[in-house]
Structure 1
Amino acid sequence: MPAVGSSGRPGVAPAPAARPSSPVRQIAEVSLETATARPTGVSELDRVLGGGLVPGVVVLLAGEPGVGKSTLLLEVAARRARDGATVLYVTGEESAGQVRLRAERTGGLAPHLFLSATGDLEEVAAHVEAVDPELLVVDSVQTVGTATADGTPGGVSQVRTVTTALVALAKQRDLPIVLIGHVTKDGAVAGPRTLEHLVDVVLSFEGERHSPLRLVRGLKNRFGATDEVGCFEMNDAGIAEVTDPSGLFTGGLDHPVAGQALTVAMEGKRPMMAEVQALIAHRSGDTPARRVVSDLDSGRVAKIIAVLQERCRLRLHDKDVFVATVGGMKLREPSADLAVAIAIASAFHNQAVRSGLVAIGEVGLGGEVRRVVALERRLAEAGRLGIDRAIVPPGEVRTPQGLHAASAQDLLGGLQLTGLIAGHPQDL
């Protein structure tokens, strides 16, 4: 009778067991030494990363062209190199001379910073073997190609193959790699959807061309939270960290004007003071009344205008209404509703609200003012900046020393607290 192997087929000997590439250990015995985050030297970026770059991590930094991705990562590379780390910066977007010029302008020349202008994956791997860097920056993943995949660099197959190879290289050498990626017109990361799944961290680098403000948000992070935001400011010397960003989004705190209101928004875990401005103008001729909104949710602003008309009797149907934020701050959360309403009412009456006043709360269709998340943290930020009065939703709330908070049951009561509408349910 023929022998039967473990494969279940007669006469076939069992295949030898494959040698494991890594030993099996109890989880408590695994060393944390190779999983400790190392600071990049840019504290605002470290905030989003969860402390820094973990050995072997692959980070994708995505953003629109011209937003400053290359400038930011060249700054990171230079700071790590100045701290004594060997850094390799690979660019397929620019020539080596162009990167050198930008490094001179931004103060990014460092003795341990190596540069290669190549778009060939095999050359990148050879440079890593020769230089043995402690950090690799690739600008960008869409410009690196390989002969082992079909298509041209930037294509779906090429991007997937290149990213897979770089991830394997990072894990093999415990080498942190930061990839720059492009985004599509609708803001999604360009390339195959698997790109975001292959990497460990996905960061979004946001900013408007007309504004110096830049924000780094965490979209995915296997080693930390995704609710942190890093703030930067573009200037003639490159890019600078903004550790206290509230001042970028407010103006005229000591000299209020009609149509101005302050609120505190949450960017992740970070409270930021923001200023809303409104302007009311008579419409011209028989043209429909216009609603022009910048950096706010136009749907929410339209709802607030409707509530002001129906619940507070403000005649806005025949007026052009313009609403915007200061400094390019984007306010999408409902907590800004009350400040938007106060700014519009202030512009309508051509009457400024008192200085040192902040308004925080969501406005419902019935005119009610609703509570928002992290209210006490928002008030603490307002108090730190010298705000001494606040209009908040009803309910108990702890306030910092020197700040008095008055609650408004509804929008009408909130406007009465500001003095924009007759009636004072409670003194501010």
Structure 2
Amino acid sequence: LLQAAGAYSDLGLEVAYVTAEESPAQLKQRARRLNVTGRNVTVVNTTSLEDVTRIISEESFGIVLIDSIQTVASSNLDSPPGTVGQIREVAHQLILQARSKGFALFLVGHVTKDGIVAGPKLLEHMVDTVIYFEGDSTHLYRILRATKNRFGSVSEIGLFEMLPEGLVEVVNPSSLFLSERGEEPRSGSVVTSICQGQRPILVEIQALVSPSGYGNPQRVASGIDNKRLALLLAILEKRGGYPMGTNDAFVSVAGGLRLSEPAVDLPVLIALASSILNRSVDAETLVVGEVGLSGEVRGITMIDRRIIEARKMGLQKVIAPKGSLSRIDTAGMKVIGVKTLSEALGILLS
């Protein structure tokens, strides 16, 4: 947030940074570490809504940042900061002032254990855009994702890497998620492509299948839904002929991404079969496709963008649904269309 305030300041905008959680000395120390000069940034250290609105009304700010809305309270209410009534009142007053004076208002909110904005759901309806900043301490990257946007698409993301000097934009996300992929062939490893908005990203799917030493086989998924994994295992056993009832199955998305689009069905199934047979899939092959319950490979969207991204990353071959390849520019790559899971297994693991 401090980096964003510095960036707006460098553009010549007057910025008000309202902080109720940090002292000005703490902000100054962090600004020095992040090389944020903040020439046009005014720091307001208060928890009073009345003080905030008075300062904003006296100056001409282009950007106002509130960190955080759960710590600002109005003296007109007896309830403590962070309660439903306080959050509703503070947000209402600040939004009215933003509309009357024409500045951009950023309200920073805490999130619950379920990963949603804390406070009344009405808060999300009051604002124009809701953006989540996702990530955890175990990974270096952070994802900026919109769930509501009255001015544009909600399917775009911003990917940033956490470095000692702060957050830095990742211009080529595919290179980040494939950076630790070894050149030596390994069983259970498949490269696939996901689309975040209009941006294709290459990621690695890893699978490990081993005989179960206990009564109930384990099914562990990291990065995909557990129920989706159970469904794909049933398809692999029924349509592919691989015995999964006596094997433990573990699936992971390298880099810690969470994937939900159906285009990862085929690469997950290929990775599982590769681990069972202990046969590696060509490291320069991209695999994409949705798989139905009868084993058919269904078409996916934006296949042309995925092929172009694969070529940029040096891949040589693409396995994709045949129905998605009509009138598609193959970008000089070898593209093979498949109709069934069995056909894909035969091409990749024969």
Q: TM-score per shorter chain, which class?
A: over 0.9
Q: Give distance in 2, aligned partners of 1:298 and 1:165.
A: 44
After the TM superposition, which residues 165-244 of structure 1 pair with which residues of structure 2 at under 5 Å, given as runs?
165-244=93-172
CA distance in 2, matches of 1:276, 1:230: 22
Structure 1 stretches of at least 4 aligned residues deviating more than 4 Å after TM superposition: none
1:342 aligns with 2:258: no
Instruction: Check the 8 A contact 1:380/1:399 in 2, yes or no.
Output: no
Residues 193-213 of structure 1 deviation map (CA, whole Å, 9 limit, x = unaligned) = 211111111111111321122
Pairwise CA distance, 1:253: 6.0
CA contact (8 A) 1:254 1:356 kept: no
1:357 aligns with 2:285: yes
Shift of the 253–264 alpha-carbon distance from structure 1 to 2, 3 Å rule, reads: farther
Q: Does 2:184 align with 1:255?
A: yes
Q: Residue by residue, what CA displacement relative to the aligned partner does 1:309-328 show, whole Å, maximum 9, x if unpaired?
A: 12212122212111101111
SS in 1 for 2:306: helix
Shift of 1:281: 2.1
Distance in 2, Cα, partners of 1:107 & 1:352: 47
Q: Which residue of 1 aligns with 2:258?
A: 330
Normalised to the residue count of structure 1, the TM-score between the two structures is 0.78
Instruction: Give the partner amino acid of 1:361.
Output: G
1:55-106 per-position Cα deviation (integer Å, ceiling 9, x unaligned): xxxxxxxxxxxxxxxxxx2111011112322211111122222222221111
Equivalent position of 1:405 in the other structure: 335
Most deviating of 289-298 and 235-244: 235-244
How far apart are residue 156 of structure 1 and its match?
Answer: 0.7
| Cα drift, residue 358 of structure 1 | 0.7
CA contact (8 A) 1:258 1:343 kept: yes
**Corresponding residue for residue 68 of structure 1:** none
Aligned equivalent of 2:82? 154
| Count of aligned pairs between the two proteins | 347
1:79 aligns with 2:7: yes
1:27 match: none
Q: What is the identity, as a one-letter code, of the residue corresponding to 2:183?
A: D
Residue type of the alignment partner of 1:265: I
TM-score (norm. length: structure 2) = 0.95
- Deviation string 1:258-310 (CA, Å, 9 cap, x unpaired) is 110011101122211111001122222x4321111101111111111111112
Counterparts of 1:21-420 in structure 2, within 5 Å, are 73-250=1-178, 251-252=180-181, 254-284=183-213, 286-395=214-323, 396-397=325-326, 398-418=328-348, 420=349
Computing the radius of gyration from Cα coordinates, the structure with the larger value is 1
Over aligned residues, Cα RMSD in angstroms? 1.5
Q: Give the conservation status (yes or no) of the 8 Å contact 2:191–2:283.
A: no
Q: Tell me, which stretches of 5 or more residues in structure 1 are unaligned?
A: 1-72, 422-428
Distance in 1 between the 2:124 and 2:184 partners? 47
Whichever residue aligns with residue 281 of structure 1, its letter is: S
The structure with higher relative contact order (CA 8 Å, sep 6+) is 1
Structure 2 unaligned regions, length at least 5: none
